[in-house]
Structure 1
Amino acid sequence: MKVTFDDIKAAQSTIQDLILKTPCEISSSCSKLVGSDIYLKLENNQRTGSFKMRGAANKIASLSAQEKAKGVVACSAGNHAQGVALSASLSHVKSVIVMPETAPLTKVQATQNYGAEVILHGQSFDEAKEYAFQLADQKSYVFVHPYEDEKVIAGQGTIGLEIAEQVADLDTIIAPIGGGGLISGAAIALKELNPKIRVIGVQASAVDTMYQLYKTRDFKAPTHTGTIADGIAIKVPSRVMYEKFISRYVDDVVTVADGDVAEAIVFLLERAKSVAEGAGAASLAGVLTGKIKLGKRNCVLVSGGNIDLNMVSQVIQRGQIQRGRLSEMSVIVPDVPGSLSQLTKILALHKANILEVHHDRVKNSLALKETKIDFVIETTSHEHIQKIREALSQWGAKVQ
């Protein structure tokens, strides 16, 4: 495979009426936090909520009339599925998306709503992928690969052209890395325009196979692929992508823990008023953890925003706990009238908002005439929590 700067320029011309030019704005709060200018390229605002629309649109637009008449097939449980579905619909091309039977219903419905025929097959992504290959052979569909495709990579590379137009004199770009299509295309475009720019990839430490391949030229596939950044959880990384693009254009790859990604999601919600999925926020997590050597002007690519609402709730709660904005506190007090009233007075005096209260009088570790009361309270900081704990202890409660 070979992708040139001219290929990316041609892709930009091809898909300009099919995609949105997404914002690339400085984040004052993030810049102050890390001590360098941080711009956020908000590709989570793209059509279908992800950069995947770019590559899919360029690939489908490149098909011959005969290929378009036959239709396309892809395998995905997420953003690639929706990008292919909408791109195909806009070009009046039939699309078939194979998803594992375990795919979330919301993603199945979203892909169908964009016009695709969805086939549920197999219990894993690999089983679904094999079936998609079979359909491509049997029905003569064109298989749209999520990253191992020159047209797809060129389409993703249009992000690099946009960033260069929106922010001058960038020193560093930080992007999530999974299959490698996004970071490869963006790097080709940006390094053609500015050979000195550094390109940094970020992958989840739970599934860090591309990181391993980049660092050691080999990898060990994980037993489990569960991570909040599921969009970049590639169990078997592409050696083709590594050899042809990533080893040539990417300057470093770092990993981040799921907790770091959750923090980045909360940061984007609270400070940038922007919703990002795990894979989309991974690049910012790399910056916030201090693992990346930054320049004076840096761009963080927020690649997608398709996150399940239940996950958003869990992430927000976890983020509140880590920041001291939410606390679970257990106290053991005498089981007599007035104990709860005294506790709530102390919490009110310290301006803690009580969200939940639960009594436990039968726990084995409790003495007779003792009760354990569990509180979930809203607080302002870890210092605030400590002051509340001290006040409860001074009154006589055993704080756990």
Structure 2
Amino acid sequence: MAYTSPAVVIDNGSYTTKAGFAREDLPSLVFNSNYMVNPETQAVIVGDDALEANCQNEVMTLLDNGLIYNYDNIIHNWQYVYDNIDNHNPIDAKEYPLVLTEQSWNTPQNKVTTCQIVFESLEVPIFSLVKTPIAQLYRAGKSTGLVIDIGSSVTSVTPILDGIIQQKSSYHSKYAGDFLNLHVLNYLESKTPFNNLIPAQFAHASDSFKHYYASHNILQEYKNLSISYQIKSYQLYNHENINVQDQRNYLENLFDPTLNKLPNVTVPEPTLDKPGSHGLTNLVFLALKNLESSLLPSSNDTTSQNKFARFIEIFKELLSNVFITGGTASANGLPDHIINDLRALTQKYFPNYPFSYAVQQIRPNNTENSETWDRQFGAWLGACNLASMLNDHNEDSNSAKIALDNWFITKADYEELGEDLIVEKFK
């Protein structure tokens, strides 16, 4: 059965929500994932312009550690998509398939709660949860690869073999874009008071709004300018110029989170039993070492020798398909830094295997803008590719059936089979 209506695809990130129809080349909606509640009417406020217009209210979050935790209000985020997706005209959720992305460490209970909302409250006809790294790698045209995703709130390292996430060798940490923002803010506050960073029109805004605005505007703009153009001064809204020639390369904090101290922020010393306490290079190393221990045969008989040859083949393919993605990964020079570190890692810690020469970064598109879009919207674009299979009307193709059998749950199946079907289909 092929569907005629295009799927609605929503990628909820901690920083922004990306949404649009699966047939589109880029998401038609990119808006802040935070929200407010009007204290008088209890109405939920969503959308960049609406947040600014109500700046006196507190700004609240929907995600933590890359996962939705605020299920009481996530439906308002999704409803905002349905109300605005068609050139800011509403559509009926009952008439369109829905695809959401999820992190690979999402919990079974979260999956069940998500399905309850989309089927019972939104009443969508058919639904899928697509794992973010799978969508990103699929977008790159690969089924095996090492996905390094550096987003706003989370950095993750995910080995994928033949389309299967190696969960026990997948790690993530909170040393990502927001962590860099803390260093940038600390630096700017050493030059000028925090309130000087905020436009005068928001002088009486709530503290949470001021910090939200600084993060999504000033800090983001400053990072983009200073990394891409090595600026010597930065102009504030009040036309004050800050001399930034003595700035440090704060990207290094991704690789060594303990490098520069932050006031009132305790960064724990990294330990082997807590992968999330490590910087980016060590996070990749721990993922590869764990994968090695799970794949490497322990004996030297003929069968093990064949397995060893297969192990070498798998690692070479994995390391020749390194996909670096996420909004923070757009920082100038960061991908090359990661690849160089990865080559050095394999030479130092895997000297008996011919891996180092194989380390290569996947670039889905050759043009600079396309690469930027793929980093920012890779998960959304990959999920669109999978969702588009539902609309395949080619009689010689089984794409629609494959999608329905493997990745989607219909409302009727949900009502009949419930939680067991969700856990099995989206495991």
State the structure with more CA Rg: 1
RCO higher in 1 or 2 (8 Å CA, sep ≥ 6)? 2
TM-score surpassing 0.5?
Answer: no
TM (norm. structure 1) is 0.30
